[in-house]
A and B are shown apart, each in its own frame.
Chain A
Amino acid sequence: MHNNIWSTIFDPGTFSQMLRSATPVALAALGGLMTEHAGIMNIGMDGMILMGAFVAAVGSYFCASAAMGILAAMLFGILIGLFFALFTVKLKSDEFIIGCALNTFALGVTAFLSREIFGLSGTSGYAVPSLPNVTIPLIDRIPFVGKVLSGHSIFVYVTWLLVFLMWLFVYRTPMGLWIRASGESPETLRTVGKNPERMKWIASILCGVFCGLAGAHLSLGYLNGSFVEGMSASRGYIAFACVIFAAANPPRAYIAALMFGFFDALGLRLQSYVSSDLTGTIPYLITIIMMVYVVVSRQKRRERLAKQQLQRLEP
């Protein structure tokens, strides 16, 4: 019996599912860390993902091409980013209110339009082109690793590339530095002749595009061409937690997303042993524990630094 549980957990299927579950969260987190660097508390990502998923499904259906769906979701992401920045940056509205309202708006508008376009039963009866799964030659022959790494939607691999590119962008380009400065110390940025508000606009637009991508992955890759009402399922909030956990560092955010994905996969794998309703809570509880861990460890580090400074001053 126990052997059975362990072999279920450490099956390649668990790790393959981990990568699948982590990808939409990681994509959204890549967007969320831009706004986090720019000093905007963005809890509206869930709505951005949901609308991205819907636009991708609609675009893919009407253009009969998954690529067009992705393009539509990205273009729409730009719009949403502009809309979000208009309120949070230009009009200086409460980020919390705008984020909450954006999420509810997304819930309402996607459900309304999906019923208008596809009818009550959603996209199930319609042919929405989805993305094919990619088999990587050679790697798919390796016994364990092949099953884990190969055969995913193209988004899984694109995300790896994007994580690296975003790391380069944030820490190795002037634009990344300016965006970080716009959040940490906007006045300093102003003294070197850069407009911090413009950087926040850029960060917000990038966030919209990434959330659009995450949504496109959900409807076209993860669920193979279907839109379900409320399908973002709090992933935007989980992505936000990942961003905080990672201190807005792209590779670390990806690791946090993987952690979420692992526990999500674990819950799915353990369904034959425990009720799926109980295992379903695991990723959300883990997110809370992650948040607590981050905050506590950050406080400890600050305390240690303060003590060191005190010791240096005292003798």
Chain B
Amino acid sequence: MKKQRFDYGYILTLLISLVVALLIGAGILALTGHNPLVAYRALLGGAFSNARHIGDMLEYAMVLCLCGLACDIGSRVGIFNVGGEGQLLLGAIFAAQIGVWLKALSPWLAIPAAALGAMIVGGFYAWIPGVLKVKLKVNEVITTIMLNTVAVFLCQFLAKGPWKNTNKNIVAGTGNLPGSFWLKKLVPGSNLSTAIIAAAVITFLVWYILQKTSKGYEMRLTGDNPRFAKYAGMKTERIVLITMVISGMMCGLVGMFRVYGAEHIYKSTVSNEYYFEGLMVAMIAQYAPLPTIVISLIFAILKIGAMGMETAAGVPKQLYLIIQTIVIFCMAAETGIRAAIARNRERRAAKQDVKARKEGGNEHA
């Protein structure tokens, strides 16, 4: 039960990995002829220099956090939802189009309808690989990745074809949402809207269900030891499938938040592989909800900061992806090295044991 208590070892590893990643990033900057100090100062400025940037940063942290949690709950039952990107995009485009269809209605009807639509579409799109995994044992990683690309193409088709904006200047985008449907901005001029309140509620619910309820315990058991869970009378297949669908619904809802809170139209800027960045966050958080929240904040600072850094210091913003993945490699290396040391110690102890008993051929792998 290390997740309940404060895990100092994990926090130390995370901090060291972050520092190492930033140092390697500085090395890359120096090698490519930038001044690392100037670049990193521009990065911090990009995230914190004014209220608008802070708002954008919090909105992005919300996206990362929800995507990360969607991945968390999947991994909790032993299924990896790598298809969140497709679920997010389809949720976004359907939410946008529902808004266009229900233009005449009151926002109190239209906004919940759009949220519901996005969740149904996202959930359905996660149900496909879920059912293939549960019923036929088809590897969900590949199917979800394929479905991502399919969703990208489908959204492009819809945004260019049947659902195209009447404005000729918008090549690929759905119709504009009426102003009354826009979620209220919390920081004027930024992307931060009231969606973050809904996101906070969802985050709390996910944390509560995973950590505090018997459903969460059943989910963990299903993921850790599916056979035992099955013999204990749990409907593991159903648990996995429902979890996958919920994960997809969360991703669809993120798409709806992006459209109603920030973009007010569906276009390709709704998500640029944001789910994969959420996935990275979840991996670094080792699929635990609380670290997911903290790490999504850290990476939102890095990402929004990197965009400011690109304009202020002329450093390509992709540096952010490099730093993020180096953190993952560092953490994997640290756990790997620690496990290797433990294995060595065990082996040595076993050898001494063998010597003591003066028996041969009892080697453990």
C-alpha gap A233/B316 in the complex (Å): 21
Instruction: Give the interface size bracket for A toward B.
Output: 35 or more
Interfacial residues of chain A within 281-301, with CB under 8 A of chain B in the complex: 281, 284-285, 287-288, 291-292, 295-296, 299
Give the docked Cα–Cα distance between A112 and B336 (Å).
Answer: 29
Closest Cβ–Cβ distance, residue B73 to chain A (whole Å): 16
- Alpha-carbon distance A116/B156, docked complex (angstroms): 30
Categorize the interface residue count of chain B.
35 or more
Q: How far is the CB of A293 from chain B (nearest CB, A)?
A: 10
Q: Are A97 and B283 in contact (CB under 8 A)?
A: yes
CB-defined contacts of B28 to chain A, threshold 8 Å = 112
Could you tell me if B141 and A278 are in contact, using CB atoms closer than 8 angstroms? no
Tell me, yes or no, whether A92 is within 8 Å of chain B by CB: yes
- Cβ of B358 under 8 Å from chain A: no
In the bound assembly, the distance between CA atoms of A312 and B56 in angstroms comes to 69
Given A92-B336, A111-B316, A284 and B146 touching (CB < 8 A)? Answer: yes
Q: Indicate which residue in A101, A237, A277, A295 contacts B137 across the interface (CB closer than 8 Å).
A: A295
Q: Are A104 and B280 in contact (CB under 8 A)?
A: yes
* A-contact bits for B287-317, CB 8 A (1 contact / 0 none): 0000000000000000000000000000010
B282 to chain A, nearest CB (A): 10
Is B321 a contact of A107 with CB atoms below 8 Å? yes
CB distance A277 to B153 under 8 Å? yes
| Binding-face segment, B102-110, B183-191, B231-239, B327-335 | B327-335
Min CB–CB distance B351 → chain A (angstroms): 17
Asked whether A292 and B332 contact (CB < 8 A) given A100-B280, A101-B283, A111-B318, the answer is no
**Do A285 and B280 contact each other (CB < 8 Å), given the known contacts A105-B322, A108-B325?**
no
Which residues of chain B have a CB within 8 Å of any CB of chain A?
Answer: 28, 32, 80, 82, 132, 136-139, 141-143, 145-147, 149-150, 153-154, 156-157, 160-161, 273, 276-277, 279-280, 283, 316, 318-322, 324-326, 328-329, 332-333, 335-337, 339-340, 365
17 pairs of residues in contact across A and B, judged by CB atoms under 8 Å: A43-B142, A100-B82, A100-B279, A101-B329, A105-B329, A108-B318, A108-B324, A113-B32, A115-B316, A234-B145, A237-B142, A241-B146, A275-B157, A277-B160, A281-B154, A285-B150, A295-B136
